[in-house]
Structure 1
Amino acid sequence: MTSIAFVDAIGRQFRRPVLGASEYVELALLTFFFASLALVVRDDSQIRVGLFADLYKPRLAAIERVFTGVVETLVLIGIAYMIFDQAGRLSRFGTVTYFLKIPVAPWVFGAAVMCVIAVWFGILNLTKLKPQPTPRPHALPEGEN
């Protein structure tokens, strides 16, 4: 993807751009993004922001982890549904890329499948949640309110 963009940028300076370079880059970006989404969910390495997460008691921290995991998985299900729906529309209309005349629907179906794989990893992560995570160093003791 980077090589195509680089060669295309140099070629434009000499009025010889790579034909269809933007489409190659777009399709590669689509593939890499959704493949990496599945890998990020598999490794449970999403970015999470908790304002006062270090101050939670262990029980509240466990509830927050479960709630966050469920919401993340539900959002991934929604995204997968929307992508499958879009792929179906693109297939029905016979949408092709402008320059290369490649059908777009198979690429979007591939993205949807990778999103379903991410959903699967999200569900597996929910089953691996520990009910009592280890307390953080700044967490309030169990007896304090």
Structure 2
Amino acid sequence: MLRQIEKAIRFVAAVLLFLLMMLTFIDVIGRNFFNRPLNGAAELTELSLGAIVFLMLPLIAIRQSHIVVDLFDFVPSRIFKAAQAITGIVVGVFFFGMMAWRLWHLGDSTARYNDLTPTLKLPIAPLVYGMAVFAAITAVCILAIGVRHLWRPSARRPAERDVDAANLASGGTNG
């Protein structure tokens, strides 16, 4: 089931990215060769980029392909590593939860004032609500993945597995 959801999200994001590419291409050709830019291209670009970014956030969290900076990798203590993992989970869930909450309130505000894009008069609220939902889904994904990794320490981040594979291939040790 999760794989089908992931495929659907990736498909929608790919379609949006393709449409964004075509939109930009048509706008540039119209602007440079015919002196007639595509009406509302900037608005559609903004809406598409917002949708693409927030669509992909849960997948990035599930795959754990986000940027990770390990500042305290030299500390060998298991307790410290567990505390570091818990801190990362709490911070991630907090920030994405706050983002979802604030975006939902922004969606309420834009819906109440019936905010529309200036040129095409498209409603903004559905996009903002969608962004809030995907931020909340990301928070839940971070929590679920984090809890799974805390209870099953052998399930490490892909980056950690890559480091082990690189060390093994080079004859080094991971310590």
Interval of TM-score (by shorter of Structure 1 and Structure 2): 0.7 to 0.9
Post-superposition Cα deviations, 1:56-112, rounded to whole Å, max 9, x if no partner, equal: 322211221111111111111011011101111111111000111011111111111
| 2:105 counterpart residue number | 85
Equivalence for 1:7: 26
Equivalent of 1:24 in 44, 58, 69: 44
Following the alignment from structure 1 to structure 2, what is the Cα–Cα distance between the partners of residues 66 and 22?
Answer: 41
Cα RMSD (Å): 2.0
- Unmatched tracts of structure 2, length 5 or more: 1-19, 165-172
Greater percentage in helix: 2
Q: 1:11 to 1:2 in 2, by over 3 A?
A: same
TM-score (norm: length of structure 1): 0.86
Matched, 1:65 2:85: yes
* Aligned partners of 2:85 and 2:146 also within 8 Å: no
Q: How many residues align?
A: 139
Work out which structure has the larger RCO, using CA pairs closer than 8 Å and 6 or more positions apart in sequence.
1
Contact 1:70–1:126 (Cα < 8 Å) also in 2: no
- Sequence identity percentage: 27
Q: Give the Cα–Cα distance (whole angstroms) in 2 for the partners of residues 12 and 3 of structure 1.
A: 14
State the 1:129 CA deviation.
1.6
Question: Do residues 55 (structure 1) and 75 (structure 2) align?
Answer: yes
